[in-house]
Amino acid sequence: MPRLLSRLLLGLVLVVGLAAGRGLAQSSAPSDTPAPASQAGATPSTADRLAQLEQQVADARSSGDNAWMLTSAALVLMMTGPGLALFYAGLVRKKNVLATMMQSFAMMVLVTVLWALFGYSLVFHGGGGFLGGLGYLFLKGVGAAPNPDYAATIPQQTFMVYQLMFAIITPGLITGAFAERMKFSAMLLFMTLWTIIVYDPMAHMVWGKGGLLNAALGGAFPTLDFAGGTVVHVTSGVSALVCALYLGKRLGYPKEPMPPHSVVLSFIGACLLWVGWFGFNAGSALAAGSLASSAFVATHFGAAAAALGWAGAEWLTRGKASVLGAISGAVAGLVAITPASGFVGPMPALVIGLVAGVFCYFMVAKVKGLFGYDDSLDVFGVHGAGGTIGALLTGVFASQAVNAIYKDSKGNTLPVGLIDGNAHQLLNQFVGVIIAWALAIVGTLVILKIVDVVVGLRVPAEHEIQGLDLSQHGEEGYNLEV
Amino acid sequence: MKKIEAIIQPSRFDSVKDALHEIGVEGMTVLEVRGHGRQKGHTEFYRGNEYTVDLLPKIKIEMVVPDALAEQAVQAILKAAKTGKIGDGKVFLTHVDDAIRIRNDERGDAAL
Q: Tell me the domains of chain B and their CATH numbers.
A: 2-111 (3.30.70.120)
**C-alpha to C-alpha distance for A183 and B17, rounded to whole angstroms:** 50
**Strand B42-46 to B49-53 pairing:** antiparallel
In a domain, A255, yes or no: yes
pLDDT at A29: 43
pLDDT class of B55 with cuts at 50, 70, 90: confident
Is B46 in contact with A324 (Cβ distance < 8 A)?
yes
Is A322 in contact with B51 (Cβ distance < 8 A)?
no
Report which secondary-structure segment, H or E, holds B7. Answer: strand B2-8
Measured at the CA of A458, the angle between CA A455 and CA A460, to 5 degrees, comes to 105
In a domain, A6, yes or no: no
Helix (H, G, I), strand (E, B) or coil at B6: strand
Q: Which of B42, B44, B46, B50 should we substitute to test contact with A (largest number of A Cβ atoms within 10 Å)?
A: B46
Indicate whether this complex's ipTM tops 0.90. no
**Strand B56-65 to B49-53 pairing:** unpaired
Nearest CA in chain B to A261: B46
CA distances from A284 to A124, A225, A340, A453, B59 (A): 15, 10, 11, 39, 55
Q: Of all residues in chain A, what percent are helix, strand and coil, respectively (each to 5)?
A: 70, 0, 30
pLDDT single digits (tens) B65-79: 999 999 999 999 999
pLDDT at B40: 75
Q: How many CB atoms lie within 10 A of CB A428?
A: 19
Is B46 in contact with A260 (Cβ distance < 8 A)?
yes
Sign of CA dihedral A244, A245, A250, A252: positive
In a domain, A419, yes or no: yes
Tell me if A341 sits within 8 A of A295, measured CB to CB.
yes
Is A322 in contact with B52 (Cβ distance < 8 A)?
no
**Strand B2-8 to B89-95 pairing:** antiparallel
Q: How many CB atoms lie within 10 A of CB A362?
A: 16
Residue numbers in B near A249 (CB within 8 A): none
- Mind giving me the DSSP string for A303-349? HHHHHHHHHHHHHHHHSS--HHHHHHHHHHHHHHHTTTTTT--HHHH
* Greatest CA separation for chain A: 101
Minimum mean pLDDT range among A137-141, A375-379, B47-51, B100-104: B47-51
Is B45 in contact with A318 (Cβ distance < 8 A)?
yes
**C-alpha to C-alpha distance for B74 and A202, rounded to whole angstroms:** 72
Is A366 in contact with B48 (Cβ distance < 8 A)?
yes
Q: Running along chain A, 482 residues long, what does each successive block of 10 average in pLDDT?
A: 58 53 45 50 87 93 96 98 98 97 98 98 92 96 95 97 98 97 98 97 95 88 94 97 97 90 98 98 97 98 98 95 97 98 97 98 93 95 97 97 92 94 95 96 98 97 96 93 66
Tell me if A153 sits within 8 A of A166, measured CB to CB.
no
- Mind giving me the DSSP string for A264-283? HHHHHHHHHHHHHHHHHHGG
**C-alpha to C-alpha distance for A50 and A33, rounded to whole angstroms:** 17
Tell me if A229 sits within 8 A of A333, measured CB to CB.
no
Q: Which among A254, A257, A378 has CB closest to B47?
A: A378
Q: B84 vs B38, which has greater pLDDT?
A: B84
pLDDT at A26: 46
- Tally A–B CB contacts below 8 A: 30
- CATH assignment at residue A408: 1.10.3430.10
pTM: 0.84
Q: Which residues contact A37 (CB under 8 A, 6 or more apart)?
A: A43, A44, A48
- Alpha helices, H only, A182-322: 184-194, 200-207, 235-247, 263-281, 290-318
Domain encompassing residue A193: 81-473
Sheet holding B2-8, edge to edge: B29-35, B56-65, B2-8, B89-95
* Tally of structural domains, chain A: 1
- Reply yes or no on whether the pLDDT at B8 is more than 50: yes
Residue B86 DSSP one-character state: T
pLDDT at A37: 47
Residue numbers in B near A324 (CB within 8 A): 46-47
Nearest CA in chain A to B53: A257
* Helices and strands in chain B, H and E counts: 2, 6
pLDDT at B88: 92
Q: At what angle do helices A156-174 and A97-114 cross, to 10 degrees?
A: 140
A contact residues 289-318, partner B, Cβ 8 Å cutoff: 314, 318
A382 Cβ under 8 Å from any chain B Cβ: no
Phi, psi of A318 (to 5 degrees): -115, -15
In a domain, A39, yes or no: no
In a domain, A19, yes or no: no
In a domain, A233, yes or no: yes
Angstroms from B40 CA to nearest CA on chain A: 17
pLDDT at A8: 57
